[in-house]
Amino acid sequence: MKQPQGMLRLGRYSIGVGDRFAYQGRAQLKAFLEARAGGVEATPVWNKSHREHAIIGSTPAETRAAADAAAREAGWAGPYHVDADHINLKNVDAFVDSCDYFTLDVAEEIGRPAPEAEARAFAGRHPELAGRHEAPGLEGPLEVTREGLEEAARKYLQAVREAGRIYRRIEERRGAGTFVTEVSMDETDRPQTPGELLVILAALADEGVPAQTIAPKFSGRFNKGVDYVGEVSRFEREFRQDLAAIRLAVGRYGLPENLKLSVHSGSDKFSIYPAIRRAVRAAGAGLHLKTAGTTWLEELIGLAEAGGEGLETARRIYAGAWEAREALVKPYAAVVDIDPAGLPAPGEVGGWDSARFAAALRHDPSCPSFNPHFRQLLHVAYGVAAKMGDGYRRLLRKFEPVIARNVGRNLFERHLRPLLMGD
């Protein structure tokens, strides 16, 4: 495929930081500056979806303004981006003027069968995809049968074509080469095999989508705000094979040479960070990882630690979340695993002091007070805080120092350092 002239390039390492209420940009950038001082360059990407904007009552223009202000105030001279996260043709137009990074959401088209004739025609255009593939990093050959090739085409061609339509809409409005494109393939019923990923990448090249990151669905569970659930050794093997599939696709199909894997719901996946770090270093590859929701939780921890009205507000938010738990969880059902029996009653939480609330919420599995069900429910409860309006935002300003300390420490110590720098 032909890449746009002077294409805006995403750095080797990039982190989707996000910020539900747009108050923690400086604290996040300080974590990136700390990583830079340690020898690692990573690009911050503020990501916020249409759903999040609707719940918060914010706009993409406000996210851009907050990111720009944070960069000025923190003295950040490096690149940064604003991501229209999980957008589609129904809502992309609202993001085009403010964003320079677009995560194309094609979930509705994944699994919608392509016509049999089109699947066979794709396989006919790409006979090289069927067979055994060798590439550095593969633990054994990557094999794609002719039947597997046609099955992958049936399952993913419609989604790839939708990605092409969204990409061209953005290109028409912004101009070629002025934005970063990510394709999300993770919202599906089962993980893609490395062979299927190779087929998807070939189809994206045919469609003319210059993807710089792709988010496949990996094995195991990536629940919001808590650690990876699954076999780490299997994940690492799969991740390495996906990196090899990307290397094959870049060489064969002319996709951007900086194309890399994106890990969605990537915050707090502490058990797989060493595996990811080993794999990307061994392959000389890049990485994009989204951590957006963890900032909101660190805000709550900071409010609780501040005591007084900060703690009282954190308790009220939990009480509201507990009352509305079914409605809050429903949109995130595939990425949370909450046992209602594990949720403390609001009356119990109302008696907690600052230390007890923070310990239950902070992601420290070694702490006996940590409660993953409590944490996951609050992860999806930012809408409760949004309904508090200016009163909640006033507290974010009032208690900014303690909140910022938690946000920065969490991002650097628990994410950037183990993911990109090692122990």
Q: What is the pLDDT of residue 119?
A: 96
The share of the chain scoring above pLDDT 70, in percent, equals 99
Confidence check: pLDDT of 135 > 80:
no
Question: In this structure, are strands 180-184 and 81-87 parallel, antiparallel, or unpaired?
Answer: unpaired
Q: What is the pLDDT of residue 124?
A: 96
Confidence check: pLDDT of 111 > 90:
no
Q: What is the pLDDT of residue 422?
A: 75
Average pLDDT over residues 371-395: 97
Average pLDDT over residues 60-69: 97
48/71 Cα distance (integer angstroms): 17
Contact 26/404 with Cβ under 8 angstroms? yes
126/103 Cα distance (integer angstroms): 27
Contact 65/84 with Cβ under 8 angstroms? no
Residue position matching structure tokens 């360059």: 41
Q: Is the pTM of this model over 0.85?
A: yes
Q: What is the pLDDT of residue 423?
A: 61
Q: What is the pLDDT of residue 91?
A: 97
Model pLDDT for residues 159-183, shown as the tens digit of each residue: 999 999 999 999 999 999 999 999 9
Confidence check: pLDDT of 47 > 90:
yes
Q: What is the mean pLDDT of the chain?
A: 95
26/137 Cα distance (integer angstroms): 38
Average pLDDT over residues 393-420: 97
Confidence check: pLDDT of 140 > 70:
no
Q: Domains, the chain, ranges and CATH?
A: 13-293 (3.20.20), 296-412 (no CATH)
Model pLDDT for residues 238-288, shown as the tens digit of each residue: 999 999 999 999 999 999 999 999 999 999 999 999 999 999 999 999 999
Q: What is the pLDDT of residue 313?
A: 98
Helix (H, G, I), strand (E, B) or coil at 336: coil
Q: What is the pLDDT of residue 133?
A: 87
Burial group, residue 261, by CB count within 10 angstroms (0-12, 13-18, 19+): buried
Model pLDDT for residues 305-320, shown as the tens digit of each residue: 999 999 999 999 999 9
Model pLDDT for residues 318-373, shown as the tens digit of each residue: 999 999 999 999 999 989 999 999 999 999 999 999 999 999 999 999 999 999 99
Average pLDDT over residues 396-421: 97
HSE on the CB side for 27, CA within 13 Å? 25
